Amino acid sequence: MKMPKDFLFGAASASYQVEGAWNEDGKGLSNWDVFSKIPGKTFENTNGDVAVDHYHRYKEDIALMAEMGLESYRFSISWPRIFPNGTGEVNEKGLEFYNNLIDECLKHDIVPFVTLYHWDLPQALEEKGGWKNKETVDAFVRFADTCFQSFGDRVNHWITFNEAVIFCSLGYLTGAHPPGIEGDVKGYFQTTHNVFVAHARAVELFKQNGHTGEIGITHVFNPAFSIDDAEENKFAEMHANAYATHWFYDPILKGEYPEYVVNGLSEQGLLPEMTEEELDVLKRTAPMNDFIGLNYYSPQRVMKNDSALVMAGGRENSTGRPGNPSFDGVYKTVKMDDKVYTKWDWEISPEAFLAGMHMLKDRYGDVKIYITENGLGDVDPIVDGEIMDTPRIEYIEGHLRAVKHAVQQGINVAGYYAWSVIDLLSWLNGYKKQYGFIYVDHNNGLARKKKQSFHWYKEIIATRAEDL
Ligand code: BGP
The predicted-structure confidence for 217-233, as pLDDT tens digits, reads as follows 999 999 999 999 999 99
> Given the CA of residue 162, which atom of ligand 1 is nearest to it?
8
169 lies in a domain?
yes
Amino acid identity at 372: T
Q: Domain tally for the chain?
A: 1
Which pLDDT score, from 0 to 100, does residue 261 have? 97
Please name the residue whose Cα sits nearest to atom 14 of ligand 1: 426
Flag whether 1 is in a domain.
Answer: no
Residue 382, domain member (yes or no): yes
Query: Is 26 among the domain residues?
Result: yes
| Residue 2 counted as domain residue | no
Can you count the helices (H) and strands (E) in the chain?
Answer: 17, 16
Q: 455 among the known binding-site residues? A: no
Please indicate whether residue 317 or residue 381 has the higher confidence score (pLDDT): 381
Q: Quick one: which of 366, 372, 314, 359 has its CA closest to 157?
A: 372
Residue 234 lies in a domain: yes
**CA 13–ligand 1 middle distance (angstroms):** 9
- 308 pLDDT higher than 70: no
User: Tell me: the pLDDT tens digits for 255-303?
Assistant: 999 999 999 999 999 999 999 999 999 999 999 999 999 999 999 999 9
Percent of the chain at pLDDT > 90 equals: 91
- Per-residue pLDDT tens for 28-61? 999 999 999 999 999 999 999 999 999 999 999 9
pLDDT greater than 70 at residue 186: yes
Cβ 374 under 6 angstroms from ligand 1: no
Please say if 373 is a catalytic residue.
yes
Residue 163 annotated as catalytic: yes
CATH number at 70 reads 3.20.20.80
pLDDT category at 319 given cuts 50, 70, 90 is: very low
Q: Is residue 360 part of a domain?
A: yes
* Arithmetic mean of pLDDT, 104-117: 98
> 423-426 — which CB contacts under 8 Å span 24+ positions?
423/52, 424/13, 424/14, 424/17, 424/18, 424/51, 424/52, 425/16, 425/17, 425/18, 425/46, 425/47, 425/48, 425/51, 425/52, 426/17, 426/43, 426/377
Does residue 325 or residue 138 have the better pLDDT? 138
Indicate the average pLDDT of the chain.
94
Query: Is 17 labelled as part of a ligand binding site?
Result: yes
Specify the pLDDT at position 317.
35
Q: Is residue 159 assigned to a domain?
A: yes
Where does the pLDDT of residue 327 fall: very low under 50, low under 70, confident under 90, or very high at 90 and above? low
Report pLDDT digits (tens) over 398-434: 999 999 999 999 999 999 999 999 999 999 999 999 9
Q: pLDDT tens digits, residue range 143-159?
A: 999 999 999 999 999 99
Q: What is the pLDDT of residues 378-406, one digit of tens each?
A: 999 999 999 999 999 999 999 999 999 99
Give the pLDDT score at 334: 86
Pocket of ligand 1 contains residue 163 by CB under 6 Å: yes
Q: Which of 115-129, 167-181, 331-345 has the highest mean pLDDT?
A: 115-129
Domain boundaries, position 418:
8-462
pLDDT for residue 345: 87
Question: How many Å apart are CA 282 and CA 272, to the nearest integer?
Answer: 14
What's the whole-number mean pLDDT along residues 99-123? 98
Catalytic position from the list 126, 163, 316, 347: 163
- Annotated catalytic residue within 71, 104, 278, 373: 373
Residue 71 contacts by C-beta under 8 Å, 6 or more apart in sequence? 8, 9, 10, 109, 110, 111, 461
CA 451 from centre of chain: 24
Could you give the angle at the alpha carbon of 175 between the alpha carbons of 339 and 136, nearest 5°?
115
Strands (E) in 55-104, as ranges, are 72-76
**Nearest Cα to 157, choosing from 101, 118, 213?**
213
Q: Is the pLDDT confidence value at 337 over 90? A: no
